[in-house]
Amino acid sequence: MCGILTVYNYNGLQKKDVEAAMASLQLIKHRGPDGEGVILINTKSNEYKVIHTTDTPKGIAGEDLNAITLNGQYDLLLGHRRLSIFDLSINGHQPFFYHQYVIIFNGEVYNFPELKEHLIAEGFAFTTTTDTEVILAAYELWGTACFQKFNGMWSLVIYNLKNGELLVSNDRFGVKPLYYLEDEYGFLLMSEPKQIMAFPDKMKGINNTCVDVFMDLGYLFYDNETFFKNIKRFPNASFYQFTPSAKEVAFETAPIKFYKLPTSVNTKISEKEVIETFRKLMSDAVKVRLRSDVEWGISLSGGLDSTSIAFVAKDVLQHHNFTTFSVVSEKGTAEDESYFINLANEHLGSKNIQINPINDFDKDTFLSQIYQIGSPVGDTSFFAQYVIKRIIKENGVTVLLSGQGGDEIMAGYHHHFFKYTTELFLKGRFIKGIREIQKWAALKGKSKGSVFKSALEDAYLAKKAAYGWAKFPYAFQKKIFAVKELKEFLKLDMGMLQLPYFLQADDSFSMAYAVETRNPFLDYRLVDFVFQLPEHFKIRDGWQKWILREGINEMPDEIRYRTDKKGFTTPMKHWISANQDMLLSLAKMCDELFPQHSNKPLFKRAAMGAWIQNFIVK
């Protein structure tokens, strides 16, 4: 888990370019406090020079940048900030060399021990215990097909010192984001959008469309755009292999997909086989994510997803004690989850550390949160996520297991239930749909009539959108509302509506304190299995995430059969009321720049104002 930077200039790098790159790496020092590595390459001759900086670990050979005359003889720079997880020695330092390849890599390949055994049988030799070395050996043996064999999260750049090819790749679900900027001079690849601030001549201002969509609809990652006008996100589940010196770079159109969510449905699988296979896959997903040479813990909200991970971890480890970390609200408030958190920890026998982040909600910390994520946020739950990461690091934990992805693959949100009833109604399964509505309404304590009305409205809107009878302010909205099946909507949540931004937040807030977040629910084997199941294994008799409730049955029934769906909640109204002056001062910046949105909710405007103050008003 680290931070990376790639700088390429068609006309060669000047000293100012390299100095800007060094400054850019300093902007993400929090991602990799354990060391810095830089290499300069001439992509025409493939000559290279390793640079030794003040943050380069002792024992790594290299030259002082000030002793080098730079006049365009090198055109490619690869930079890396390291957070040591596997092989904590300097053997894991990057850029990492293996035969003719050099790599900068952010992330983890959890199944690298199994891949390593296979590669050794094929005649490969290894000198470290890192997953980085295994990645390069796998690439040498299998080429780009290696990505289909990796179980993990990554953004990486590999350069071939023999043929001058550059390979860029991002993991299946974009757990480790990668951003790019392409212009007439070359391109940049970055772990965080804010790295552009070290290159002021490349700053092109605000992406107004992103601002409008966020302020009007609340969406933040509906495509690969960012709030920075000329910075885009490299597509997940993709790789791009090219020769930079050919000057035919096309990040927008050329990346190739190596993975897609399954489209087939296994209608013959038995209920017994479903539960057994789910449990087996879940257990292994947790097991491989517990691999680490540093201390780990678990994020525990008191909800179904995080609690199930904790109980599976206990089962996998048997008698191993671990620490859980939780956000709580004031006792007696609707948002307080402490009862369920304490109940889970009593059964787990784990140590639990709790924090109420309202005590940290001030202007400086809020600005810091927005700076780290590089975008505005829609509610205060993101602030709670940010603050808890500091507590995790202060308690000596570097690797954190999280429940992210559980709702997206197993239909955990309310809108998933209504999309399921839409599917049933439009397929003529009215009796099944009505029964599900009746049972869901009873579980949620809602009026059957009101739920039925909402379900019909959802189905009618889907039909109108699909046939072009409905008009929407933004073109991408038709894609959302026209979906008539739950499975297709889950794909949208996985790819553009929910998960991408949650993962970006996870990455940004964790790495702000040099903590690595791992997501067992996003093990591709588990995702593939669940996506190929008939929908009644996700929603049944009004219960959402049915398969999780049945598959992890050792959880306390009070958690296993919780009927409420809170998510990662905070008392947002109270926080806004208690900090109104601070939020108004930030909102003013938004109102002045975007007066057309001055009627939008205060918190949205304040978050947008905080982004403006961090990145525009300097």
**Model confidence over 228-264: pLDDT tens digits?**
999 999 999 999 999 998 888 889 899 999 999 999 9
CA atoms within 13 Å, Cβ hemisphere of 582:
14
Instruction: Tell me if residue 346 falls in helix, strand or coil.
Output: helix
Region 308-323: mean pLDDT is: 91
Region 75-89: mean pLDDT is: 96
Together in a domain, 292 and 432: no
Q: Which domain holds residue 418?
A: 414-494
Find tokens 């005359």 and name the residue: 69
User: Quick one: which of 508, 527, 501, 387 has its CA closest to 106?
Assistant: 508
Together in a domain, 306 and 400: yes
What's the pLDDT at 45?
95
One-letter identity of residue 205: G
**pLDDT band for position 182 (50/70/90)?**
very high
**Percent of the chain having pLDDT more than 90?**
89
Region 126-148: mean pLDDT is: 98
- pTM of this prediction? 0.95
Maximum distance among all Cα pairs of the chain, rounded to whole angstroms: 78
What's the pLDDT at 567?
58
What's the pLDDT at 157?
98
> How far is the C-alpha of 303 from the C-alpha of 340, rounded, in Å?
7
In this structure, what token pair is assigned to residue 24? 């850019």
Together in a domain, 554 and 506: yes
Assess if residue 114 is contained within a domain. Answer: no
Instruction: Tell me if residue 542 falls in helix, strand or coil.
Output: coil
Whether the Cβ atoms of residue 4 and residue 80 lie closer than 8 Å to each other: yes
Assess if residue 442 is contained within a domain. Answer: yes
Residue 193 DSSP code: G
pLDDT by residue (tens digit) across 14-46? Answer: 999 999 999 999 999 999 999 999 999 999 999
For residue 91, is pLDDT > 90?
Answer: yes
**Which of 494, 524, 539 is a domain's end point?**
494
pLDDT by residue (tens digit) across 499-511? Answer: 999 999 999 999 9
Whether the Cβ atoms of residue 174 and residue 189 lie closer than 8 Å to each other: no
Together in a domain, 202 and 336: no
Assess if residue 290 is contained within a domain. Answer: yes
408 vs 357: which has the higher pLDDT: 408
Instruction: Tell me if residue 80 falls in helix, strand or coil.
Output: strand
pLDDT by residue (tens digit) across 560-576? Answer: 999 887 656 678 888 89
For residue 468, is pLDDT > 80?
Answer: yes
Strand partners, 9: 186
What's the pLDDT at 402?
97
Together in a domain, 334 and 213: no
Whether the Cβ atoms of residue 482 and residue 462 lie closer than 8 Å to each other: yes
**pLDDT band for position 490 (50/70/90)?**
very high
Region 357-375: mean pLDDT is: 94
Region 113-134: mean pLDDT is: 97
Instruction: Tell me if residue 273 falls in helix, strand or coil.
Output: helix
Instruction: Tell me if residue 447 falls in helix, strand or coil.
Output: coil
Assess if residue 7 is contained within a domain. Answer: yes
Find tokens 């800007």 and name the residue: 20
Burial label for 247, CB within 10 Å (0-12, 13-18, 19+), is exposed
> How far is the C-alpha of 540 from the C-alpha of 505, rounded, in Å?
31
What's the pLDDT at 66?
86
**pLDDT band for position 333 (50/70/90)?**
confident
> In sequence order, what are the residues at sequence separation of 6 or more whose Cβ sits closer than 8 angstroms to the Cβ of residue 39?
48, 49, 50, 51, 77, 78, 95, 102
Assess if residue 147 is contained within a domain. Answer: no
Region 490-494: mean pLDDT is: 96
Region 432-456: mean pLDDT is: 96
pLDDT by residue (tens digit) across 143-174? Answer: 999 999 999 999 999 999 999 999 999 999 99
According to DSSP, the β-strands at 323-327 and 351-355 are parallel
Number of Cβ atoms within 10 Å of the Cβ of 544: 23
Instruction: Tell me if residue 6 falls in helix, strand or coil.
Output: strand
**Which of 222, 257, 292 is a domain's end point?**
257
Whether the Cβ atoms of residue 343 and residue 317 lie closer than 8 Å to each other: no
Together in a domain, 516 and 470: no
CATH of the domain at 201: 3.60.20
Together in a domain, 370 and 454: no
What's the pLDDT at 68?
86
What's the pLDDT at 249?
86
What's the pLDDT at 203?
87
Whether the Cβ atoms of residue 352 and residue 345 lie closer than 8 Å to each other: yes
Whether the Cβ atoms of residue 50 and residue 39 lie closer than 8 Å to each other: yes
CATH of the domain at 394: 3.40.50.620
In this structure, what token pair is assigned to residue 534? 């008939």
Together in a domain, 319 and 347: yes
Together in a domain, 207 and 333: no
Domain count for the chain: 4
Assess if residue 464 is contained within a domain. Answer: yes
What's the pLDDT at 71?
87
Together in a domain, 304 and 392: yes
**pLDDT band for position 329 (50/70/90)?**
confident
Together in a domain, 75 and 192: yes
According to DSSP, the β-strands at 76-82 and 2-9 are antiparallel
Residue 32 DSSP code: -
DSSP string for 479-506 = HHHT--SHHHHHHHIIIIISHHHHHHHH
Mean pLDDT of the chain: 95
DSSP H or E segment with residue 142:
helix 131-142
> How far is the C-alpha of 233 from the C-alpha of 508, rounded, in Å?
14
**Which of 223, 257, 291 is a domain's end point?**
257
In this structure, what token pair is assigned to residue 19? 């100095």
Assess if residue 302 is contained within a domain. Answer: yes
Q: Which of 183-187, 329-333, 352-356, 601-605 has the weakest average pLDDT? A: 329-333
In this structure, what token pair is assigned to residue 330? 């004031």
What's the pLDDT at 140?
98
Assess if residue 133 is contained within a domain. Answer: no
What's the pLDDT at 269?
97
Together in a domain, 7 and 20: yes
> How far is the C-alpha of 340 from the C-alpha of 560, rounded, in Å?
10
Helix axes 430-444, 448-466, angle to 10 degrees: 130
